[in-house]
Every structure is written in structure tokens, then in C-alpha cells.
Structure 1
Amino acid sequence: MFDRSTRISLVDADDAILANRAADGDIRAFEVIIRRHSPLMKAYARKILGSSDEVDDVVQDTFVTAWQQLAALEEMVAMRSWLMKIVSRKSIDRIRARRQHADADDHDTPAPENTGPSQRAEASSREKALSNVLAGLPHQQRQCWVLKHVADYSYDEIAAELDLPVSTVRGLLSRARKNVIQGMEGWR
């Protein structure tokens, strides 16, 4: 049984220690991880999703996935960025699921004349191409791009989120934009 001093030491432990203990099955260590990182993850998911309706579900799904895959995490010191990567993917998956469920029968408004089947197919192909280009970006470039262009973060917010200097964020975004433009060259 853990006593109060064990709980205090867990609260003060760094992420690597908590992750190692949680990977070994220590539920209390994982609870500390949840308490420590939930606020940031909720704020991030809310920015991506645009509302708070699904935020708790996304964060909960993230922690379930993290618990299941924690033993596979190679760098335990990277716990925070690993969790943020998972919450980012799960948030984007929710957005994609919304689009897939948006059915023509759900709306009474007539479709504009310029959105026929060929235009929708082209838009879908363009979206898939962009997803492929983004998937090919280096991790930090992709994070910066998503935070800037999907979550509408400022440079300062991105720097704070990723714990990077603003100048590094600007450079990563510049390279990300260049890579996206090159990758989407066929869609100009």
C-alpha cells in the first residue's frame, strides 16, 4: 500500500519516472500523468475541434491509447509530446468522422450549382493529397503546421505549446509551408 509520502513523491516525479512506473503497471503513476497533462490536452483538443462537446471524449480516448501503448514508448522523457501527438491524431480523426457523417439528407439547403460530383471528387482528392503531404512532413513541422493552420494558434502559442523558441517555430512553419507547397504542386 502506498502512503502519503509515496503519493507526494509521485507528484514531484518527472515524466520519465512516471512513464516507466506506469509502463510497469503502476496505476497511481498513470493517474499523476493524467492530472498533469489533461489541462493542456483539453485546451489543445478544444482548439482543434472548435468546440468543447467532444474534448473530454478525445482526451479520454488518448489516455486509453496511451495506457495500452505505454510499454512501446521508447523515450519516456518524451511523454508530453507523445501524448500531444496522440490527442492531435484523435482530434483530427474526430473532424474527419464529422465530414464522413455529413450526409446530403441531413441538410435541406440545395447544393450550389458549382459543387457537382466532379468538383466534390476533386476536393476529396485534394484533401487526400494534403493529408499525404502532411503525413510526410517531419514531426515538428507537421505539429507547427497543424497548430497554425488547423487550430489557428499564434506563433507565441505554438512556441509555448511545443516548448520551442518563437524563432524556431517561424523556421519550422516556413519549411513546412515550403514542403506543403512543393507537395501540392500538382494541385495549382
Structure 2
Amino acid sequence: MSSEPYRNPLESADDRIIAGRAADGDTAAFAVLVRRYTPMMRAYTRRILPGSADVDDVVQDAFITAWDQLPKLDDPGRVKSWLMRITSRKAIDRIRSTRPHSDLSETELPAPDQMAPPRRAEARAGIAALSDAINRLPDAQRECWVLRELGDYSYEEIAQELDLPVSTVRGLLARARKDIIVRMEQWR
């Protein structure tokens, strides 16, 4: 009798095999994906939502979506980048859902001396306009912009995370920035 602990052969299997089995409903294979990619997904989410207590919720939501959508994954070998895209979307959705929605008519805050009420209203409107401009970006541009501007990722890191060439990342960021500048023209 061997003294070595039993190792599940799925633990060392290729992503293509594990994702394929999970897509067929194999919960043990899906559990391997969860163990394999949770640390990376948590780190990625933490960079998008710094200091947020929502990191584990975002990762859990991403895995729930992945379980539901796994049968539709065209190339099981690309499950890692697919999971990262789901995680990115879930994190961005969390940012959107937690944006402050203040009704100025119900809020009675004393205005600081250095910022009169008209200035505060203008600043809030500017922030709302920027948020709207970001939300109107196509998904790929928004993902790149969030990773670069909020996550402080390098072009190479973004390319790796989204499984895109660096030149594509540069182009997506350039278009996103141009679109945001055009939409924010009145706020200059």
C-alpha cells in the first residue's frame, strides 16, 4: 500500500479536457477549474475594485455564469481567457451597480466654503457624464480602458489578460480615449 496521498488525475489535466468535461456537466471537473482559477480571478477583480469587499461576490458570480454558459464555449482550451472576460464584465457591472446615486433634493449637506452648491452640482454632472461616456463604449474598449485607467495595467498585461495582441489593445484604448474626449468636450 502506497503512503502517497491520492491525487485526482483531473488536477493535472489540460484546460481543454477539464473544460470539456465540465461543459458536459462534470461537477468534479468544474471544481478543478474553480480551484485553478479562483486566485487569479480574485487578484484581477481586486485590481478593478480596489479595497472592495465585493471581490469574492464578483468571482462567485463569474463562476455561476461560467457554469451556465460553459456548454456554449467554442474552444475549451481558451477557458482561462474566457473566465477572465466574464470576471471583467462582472466587476464592471459591480462598479455600475455601486455608483452613488444621489438625489440632491433629498440630501441636505452643508456646502463647504470652497465649493458652492452650483460648483458641486457641476462636478457631479461632470462625473455622471464621464460615467455615461465610459458606459457607452463598446465592451472591448471599456474593458481595456478600465484595466488601464482603473487597474493601472500595462499594455502587455491587458493584452495577456484579454488574450489580444498588444497592437489591438493600443488601438482599442486609442479609440476609447478619443470617444471619451469627444463625449466630454463640453466639460473641458
Classify the TM-score, shorter chain: 0.7 to 0.9
Q: Cα–Cα, structure 1 residues 158 and 180, in superposed 2: closer, same or farther, change >3 Å? A: closer
Return the offset for 1:67: 0.9
Instruction: Tell me what 1:187 maps to.
Output: 184
Residues 102 and 73 of structure 1: is their aligned pair in 2 closer, same or farther, counting only changes over 3 Å?
Answer: farther
Q: Which runs of 5+ in 2 are unaligned?
A: 1-5
Secondary structure of 1:44's aligned partner: helix
Unaligned runs of 5+ in 1: none
Q: How does 1:1-188 map to 2 (within 5 A)?
A: 4=6, 7-8=8-9, 10-100=10-100, 108=109, 110=111, 112-113=115-116, 114-116=119-121, 120-135=124-139, 139=140, 142-155=142-155, 157-158=157-158, 161-162=161-162, 168-169=165-166, 171-184=167-180, 185-188=182-185
Pick closer, same or farther for the CA change 1:16–1:51 going to 2, 3 Å: same
Structure 1's 71 and 163: CA in aligned 2 closer, same or farther, altered over 3 A? Answer: closer
**TM-score normalized by the length of structure 1:** 0.76
Instruction: Give the aligned residue type for 2:145.
Output: W
After TM superposition, give the deviation of residue 159 of structure 1 in Å. 5.2
Whichever residue aligns with residue 64 of structure 2, its letter is V
Alignment root-mean-square deviation, CA = 2.8
Q: Percent identity?
A: 44
How far apart, CA to CA, are the structure 1 residues paired with 2:15 and 2:142? 24
CA contact (8 A) 2:20 2:76 kept: yes
Matched positions, count: 174
- Give the Cα separation in 2 of the matches to 1:102 and 1:94: 17
- Aligned residues of 2:159 and 2:169 also touching (Cα < 8 A): no
Larger Rg: 2
**Segment of structure 1 superposing worse, 96-105 or 10-19:** 96-105
**1:142, CA displacement in angstroms?**
4.7
Are the aligned partners of 1:148 and 1:158 in contact in 2 as well (CA < 8 Å)?
A: yes
